Chains A and B, each alone.
Chain A
């Protein structure tokens, strides 16, 4: 390699990967009991892959946690278990269904379970005495996230106080906190949706099959393509269609919609995402449409 080639800056993906690995290593070195949220979604898979790279050739020194709403796509749960085994991580599950079954939580009238994840998540954090919790959130996702730190302090109630955030300078991440508080850490803060896909392509990372085009029974409901499942049955007057669709996010089935797509490979998906005129949340997450400040409200309550 010539000297002039060496003086070239890192590529975008090299720089992002290195920054994320640095963040993940800082957390492992300075917190007593970190845990990484893992849903099987593309961002959390990329985050787990980065964790594996950060500690190589040793195993990942912390466990992963899935908050299972009970409304997950079967393909995603199957993938979740395979991925955890592949990367050699230990999986813990916090089950929203258990909370509903024993009455600690009640089903919402609209059937959406995303807002119900907060309590089982906070219980799992305190039960595991986790002082740092990794999340796959990105700042390009939503306006409230654009202002969040990489190390984001949470009080005993898991609440985020956007007006009282610590300044975050250079690459000096400060995770000191009081007993009872914990820190949410977002190693993918500076990644965009396209960066995530570019990285998935360059690292050959496996994803749940529903990220790629497949045929499925769907209805057009409130302008969004909803799959017909046990959780989201067809309603009176709706026209069921058999269409080629894929998912851009793989959250709770009750509030995650598909997009019409023929993109069956990573490359096709990247082309499609680059051309897309809708943000991934706007396109497919009904829960973000509830109010103008929906995400900000849920973050304040302790949701990621």
Chain B
């Protein structure tokens, strides 16, 4: 069982890791209460916050402390009694620190689930035991699948309101297993919970003797936290070129090796894979090759660095490398493309039409693009056992998930999102006002076969021409 209390620092395990979660559920599934319960039972709520919540509960005439109030954010939300925006919560146990993206469940806030899922290692999906798997559950699981969240927990909440019935739980779990299979979600786990009563959130419940799996927190502490990215090929988007103009460093860096006017390093974060000194790499999109001469950090040089680390790479040859380029493994690097077909979650109030001019932000590069076609939008009104299909559309509207063809102004070395959750992703940006319009994922979707190109336009192929039109 999880040992939740974390007030004794000596119990903190060395090398404690970070796990990112996202929550999703419908209105009234008790999501705020579950999150409040996780914070409360891990001692992550401090006395003054709790005092405040107790006062508000009393003022509202409640006979017990409403833990949902712990996650109550902005004034506009308190006035309307709904949650508007993704809120980030933090809690920790001796084994792990958790960052939780608390995503509102309202239908029109699918974009928040997309946002929260984009960085999540685990998605915590809620259903009301009285209602089971509903449309929002199917929709949210489809999003989790599209965004390739590695692990999914289904919290069957309010199990107290169905008299802790094993039959009800099993029926929901069977539905969910079927749904997961059809959506291509592999790692799932169902837990019977009463967030209000505290059953199986942090403390194992005596009222569900038929359930022998972990509690919610127990699961979160045990789930495999090895990032998938570490196992895939090297991708290192160059953020900036380090060329010190002066060899004079401030006192804090006194121990740094001497740098002269010839020093040239490439700063960035390894998004996937690993890199070691002496290894041959390829620099995209120009496909020039070099060897890694050194991996440097202010804490000392490294022989090898892995996904997640921010480092400075030095290469052995004087090839042209600048911001926006990607240093990659020589094994099967993505071919730079001028025509990009991707699944796009539309996040803006304004619609997307064929012919629109947008910016594509990918890795550390920004490229102009024109929308050449919208081949369909996913119909997320589907039943358990079915697979969402593509419906023909004339435009993408807020919260639509569509199949979009883009012509790019310069060749983009973009991966398939399936293998590379970072360098397979991009956002669409409005060139005029800078608004983030859409979230794109290159390659096939996990569950729906690609739709045929829409007939409304002629898609003219513009094959890659390296060096031309580079922004």
Residues of chain A having any CB pair with chain B under 8 Å: 1, 6-12, 14-18, 21-22, 25-26, 28-29, 49, 52-59, 85-89, 139-140, 143-144, 146-147, 162-163, 165-172, 174-178, 189-190, 192, 194-195, 270-271, 274-279, 282-283, 292-293, 296
Residues of B contacting A28 in the complex (Cβ-Cβ under 8 angstroms): 240
Q: Please pick, from B7, B75, B297, B306, the residue contacting A296 in the complex, using a CB distance under 8 A.
A: B75
Report if B267 contacts A (CB, 8 A).
yes
Query: Can you list 17 A-B pairs, Cβ within 8 angstroms, ordered by A?
Result: A6-B230, A6-B306, A8-B15, A11-B17, A25-B240, A25-B268, A26-B239, A29-B323, A56-B253, A143-B73, A144-B74, A147-B88, A162-B74, A169-B115, A172-B426, A176-B433, A195-B97
Closest to A28 in B: B240
Residues of A contacting B18 in the complex (Cβ-Cβ under 8 angstroms): 9-12, 15-16
> Would A274 and B7 be within 8 Å (CB), given that A170-B422, A282-B46 are in contact?
yes
The residues in B between 237 and 271 inclusive whose CB is less than 8 angstroms from any CB of A are 239-240, 242-246, 249-253, 256-257, 259, 263, 265, 267-269, 271
Residues of B contacting A165 in the complex (Cβ-Cβ under 8 angstroms): 85
A6 to B422, CA, bound (A): 20
Cβ-defined contact, B425 with A10, below 8 A: no
Residue-wise, chain B 43-86 has the 8 Å CB interface mask toward A (1 for contact) of 00011110010000000000000000000111110000000111
Cβ-defined contact, B433 with A178, below 8 A: yes
Residues of B contacting A58 in the complex (Cβ-Cβ under 8 angstroms): 242-245
Residue-wise, chain B 96-137 has the 8 Å CB interface mask toward A (1 for contact) of 110100000000000110110011000000000000000000
Cβ-defined contact, B364 with A29, below 8 A: yes
Closest to A272 in B: B9
Closest 7 interchain pairs by CB?
A88-B250, A176-B434, A282-B48, A277-B47, A58-B244, A169-B118, A56-B298
Cβ-defined contact, A274 with B249, below 8 A: no
A214 to B170, CA, bound (A): 60
A9 to B274, CA, bound (A): 12
Residues of B contacting A17 in the complex (Cβ-Cβ under 8 angstroms): 310
Closest to A169 in B: B118
Report if B460 contacts A (CB, 8 A).
no
Report if B16 contacts A (CB, 8 A).
yes
Q: How many A-B contacts at CB < 8 Å in the complex?
A: 220
Interface size on B, residues (CB 8 A): 89
Write the nearest CB–CB distance from B150 to chain A, whole angstroms: 12
Closest to B305 in A: A6
Residues of B contacting A89 in the complex (Cβ-Cβ under 8 angstroms): 250
Cβ-defined contact, B308 with A9, below 8 A: yes
Residues of B contacting A163 in the complex (Cβ-Cβ under 8 angstroms): 74, 76, 84-85
Residues of B contacting A53 in the complex (Cβ-Cβ under 8 angstroms): 297-298
Report if B89 contacts A (CB, 8 A).
yes
Taking each of A15, A58, A271, which has the highest tally of chain B beta carbons within 10 Å of its own beta carbon?
A58
Cβ-defined contact, B49 with A279, below 8 A: yes
> Would A52 and B250 be within 8 Å (CB), given that A9-B308, A167-B111, A275-B7 are in contact?
yes
Cβ-defined contact, B242 with A55, below 8 A: yes
Closest to A83 in B: B252
Closest to B433 in A: A178
